[in-house]
Amino acid sequence: MSAPRGARLAPPSSGRARGDPASRRTEPGRRRMAPRPPQSLSHAPADINVAWCSTACSRIGAGFGQNLDWAPGPMPTLCRLPALARAPAFGGLDLRGLLLDYSAPTALEVADGNWLAAVSGFGVVPLDASVHDLAQAFDTHLWPACAAQRTRYKNWRHWCTVLTWGIVRKALPLLLPMSRDTLKAITWDLVSFRASRSQIVAVWSAISSRHRYFGLTPPIHEKGEFSRWVRAISCVMGRPLALKLPVHKSIIRTLLAWRPTGVADNRCRLLTALATIACLRVSEVAALQVCDLWFDHFTGMGIPGYEGSCGVHILKQKNDQQRKGHMPGIGVSRDPTLDLVAQLRFWMEWMGLATQPGCTKRARPAARCPACPPLFSKTGKGPGGLTVATYEPCSRQLVSQCIKDAVAAAGADPSRFSGISARKGGISTAVEAGVEENILFLQSGHGPARAARAYQHLRDPRRLLETFAAFDL
């Protein structure tokens, strides 16, 4: 790495903390995208899409059917439907049940674990506040978190598809609560629009979620019934999953032996090696901060010989609703030229990255640190047109692209890989090396023995680091 140290743009001038995920969040339904002609909004023939859009415009009502925005989906879908609440098509209906969009992250979710500061920002609760006021505050700030924000956003997109269907078919009064016959009618229209199996199931899930949120009984609610409905369309529309290859340990060795001079290339190779050995998801890699690398973490167990190892603190996993976190480990390589921990230390020194004086990660490990920068950030153009790092964290999509770029640099076909290839590579390498399943689960953080893992605390890091040892570095 011969590029100058500190190859990084100046931090943002706003008061928001570096690496704050709120700085890159966009309110659902407000994403910037180029308008698409009605002909290309679904997989159906162009004339069907055009007829569908024109029918929706005419049935919304006078004064509201002009200059509407459309989004692609299982069928052409209207955007910003809450803005049409006064349209004649919604007259006399329960607007809250139909049009409430609770997909945006709440203030407590944006705080990302720093909930005490967020609550303080709400001010003191008045002593004369009514039960209704307090319940409304609960509904606003807490109740949406019963589902993950990404799930809520996906459900809202597909519920907009259902609302658009209700406008076209003059069936808005039949949507909440919905009968099985109405669901069958929606499903048949989706089939007619050439919607895929996964799109149809996503619409069903959005309908069920909407009903449960408002305390209603979904149209598919009996035990095993949802599976039977899925089986009915899978028998007709199912197809093999696209096979994505795991990142093999030979690729990791090649990447760790590679010494590029560019910021982006070094980010891609180290990001991929870390994600593979630690069995991380792309979202977990994107969320990593400098203070999440706990160097020499295992020496605290009082057993000599683990100097130079590292624990990787994962703030919150995919299904970790209680924010328990996770700590996979990275050991010391026998070959110093392939030592990932040493290269991560050098990456931080080279990029001018360090744990900041105001770091709160050790004191509040379940909360995102408001002071420390991301470990892997986006790049931009610096002085002289050089590619340099910024203080904006990588998105999940960028992490996936980095993994594909890294395997391409190692000589593999990037079209056969995706973001999941790193996690698959770590788990597959461990299985091939004979790592016991319960030990592997301690590294990957998932599996059927999750309840038992809560009671596992290995005193000897050698067992925990067996997944790292499987890479034979």
**pLDDT per 10-residue tile (average), the chain, 473 residues:** 47 43 39 52 81 90 80 88 91 91 88 84 87 90 86 94 95 94 95 91 95 92 89 80 84 94 92 93 92 88 82 80 79 92 93 90 87 89 76 90 94 91 89 82 68 47 73 79
Q: Are 293 and 310 in contact (CB under 8 A)?
A: yes
Q: What is the pLDDT of residue 6?
A: 47
Which two structure tokens, joined as six digits, stand for 139?
């509904």
Q: How many residues does the chain have?
A: 473
Q: What are 330's strand-pairing partners?
A: 310
Distance CA 70, CA 61 (A): 17
Strands (E), 382-457: 387-393
Count how many Cα atoms sit within 13 Å of the Cα of residue 250 in the half-sphere of its side chain: 3
SS3 content of the chain, % helix, strand, coil (to 5): 50, 5, 45
Q: Which residues contact 186 (CB under 8 A, 6 or more apart)?
A: 162, 165, 203, 207
Q: What is the pLDDT of residue 43?
A: 75
Q: 215 by DSSP, 3-state: which? A: coil
Q: What is the pLDDT of residue 389?
A: 75
Domain ranges of the chain: 34-106+142-237, 249-469
Q: What is the pLDDT of residue 273?
A: 95
Name the amino acid, one letter, at 250. Answer: S
Q: Are 285 and 274 in contact (CB under 8 A)?
A: yes
Q: Are 228 and 192 in contact (CB under 8 A)?
A: no
Name the amino acid, one letter, at 274. Answer: L
Q: What is the pLDDT of residue 124?
A: 84
Distance CA 168, CA 149 (A): 29
Q: What is the pLDDT of residue 338?
A: 94
Q: What are 294's strand-pairing partners?
A: 311
Name the amino acid, one letter, at 308. Answer: G
Q: What is the CA radius of gyration of the chain?
A: 25
Which two structure tokens, joined as six digits, stand for 129?
């506040």
Q: What is the pLDDT of residue 431?
A: 84
The secondary structure of residue 363, as a DSSP letter, is T
Q: What is the pLDDT of residue 29?
A: 39
Q: What is the pLDDT of residue 22?
A: 40
Unique residue bearing structure tokens 């057993």: 303
Q: What is the pLDDT of residue 446?
A: 67
Q: Tell me the whole-structure pTM to 2 decimals.
A: 0.74
* Closest alpha carbon to 391 in 376, 370, 369: 376
Its CATH architecture, for the domain 249-469, is Orthogonal Bundle (1.10)
- Compute φ and ψ for 165, nearest 5 degrees: -60, -45
- What is the dihedral sign for C-alpha 155, 157, 159, 162? negative
